Structure 1
Amino acid sequence: MKLTIEKLTQPSEQDRIDLGKIWQDVRYQSALKNEINDENVLFVARFNERLLAACWVKLSAENAIITDFMVREVTRRRGVGHYLLTQCLAAYPDITHWQAISLSAEESGYDIAHAFLAHHQFSASPQPDLYILNI
């Protein structure tokens, strides 16, 4: 089966279980409770009817903020995150200013998140944990 990226509008019970596996860390538990609407979009990567990665895209005018970007640990380093991120950006061609909120410097995955975002042309901002991409 093919890896697909989709906007999840009505998570099924299985989707909620999968999201719990993606966002296992306590700091992401609030992500499971966010409301899905036109300004708060949940993007997911699905393979074999299971979710492997997810992120929120918060939209406003010509700006968008990507938050809670996470790929299941067992699936990392296989291009899932790259595909999810590039499809999020492609879904909104009129957005010219993107931001991504990353892990804080104290978190163990900071270097990995920084390298991932830098690889995708995001630049670190003066504000900690915030990365910017202007298209």
Structure 2
Amino acid sequence: MPIVVETLTTPSQQDLQDLARLYADAPAWMLAGPEQALALVSAALEDGSLIAARFNDRLLGAARLQREDVAWQLSDLCVRSLTRRRGVGLRLVNEAQRLAQEAGAGLRLFSKQESAEMNALLAPLNLKLDVAQL
């Protein structure tokens, strides 16, 4: 079964549990703790910007995709530690890139800190990571 990327609008209880586990696995520099993860997920669900990678009805990765006129912004990308380096992050970025292109917009990727993992993920895509506090 392939990894399906979708915009989450009405997550199930299982989805919410998966998101909590997923962002609990986030690097310390990305989120200060569970409260910040909950705030991120809540805000992204509220404005319709949360995209998630699903495999076998479970969420393995998520990111915030904010749709702007000229350049869309992908941020807060996180993949469960158990499934890292298996293409989940790449699938999220590729789908965000496809959706932005379809809308005639570019895609900018943001991170709160430079990381070797993000740079390795983006290198084959010829995308640059912007380091900024969003």
TM range (shorter): 0.7 to 0.9
How many equivalent pairs are there?
122
Structure-2 separation of matches of 1:35 and 1:52: 17
Secondary structure in 2 aligned to 1:64? Answer: strand
Deviation at residue 45 of structure 1 after TM alignment: 0.7
Deviation at residue 123 of structure 1 after TM alignment: 2.2
Give deviations 1:40-68, integer Å, cap 9, x for gaps: 42111111111000001011112211111
Structure-1 separation of matches of 2:22 and 2:4: 16
Deviation at residue 69 of structure 1 after TM alignment: 0.4
Aligned equivalent of 2:74? 66
Structure-1 separation of matches of 2:44 and 2:91: 24
Residue pair 1:64, 1:95 contacting (<8 A) in 2 also: no
Structure-1 separation of matches of 2:84 and 2:92: 12
- In structure 2, the gaps of 5 or more residues are none
After superposing on structure 2, the runs of 4+ consecutive aligned residues of structure 1 that deviate more than 3 Å are: 25-28
2:103 matched to 1:94? yes
What pairs with 1:79-118 in structure 2 (closer than 5 Å)? 79-92=87-100, 93-105=102-114, 110-118=115-123
Normalising by structure 1, what TM-score? 0.78
More relative contact order, 1 or 2 (CA 8 Å, 6+ apart)? 2
Structure-1 separation of matches of 2:11 and 2:120: 31
Aligned equivalent of 2:4? 4
- In structure 1, the gaps of 5 or more residues are 131-135
Structure-1 separation of matches of 2:57 and 2:85: 20
Secondary structure in 2 aligned to 1:9? Answer: coil
Change (3 A) 1:60 1:124: closer
Give deviations 1:84-103, integer Å, cap 9, x for gaps: 11011112323433211124
2:127 matched to 1:122? yes
Residue pair 1:40, 1:59 contacting (<8 A) in 2 also: no
Deviation at residue 118 of structure 1 after TM alignment: 2.7
Normalising by structure 2, what TM-score? 0.79
More strand by share: 1
Give the % identical residues. Answer: 28
Structure-2 separation of matches of 1:9 and 1:72: 20
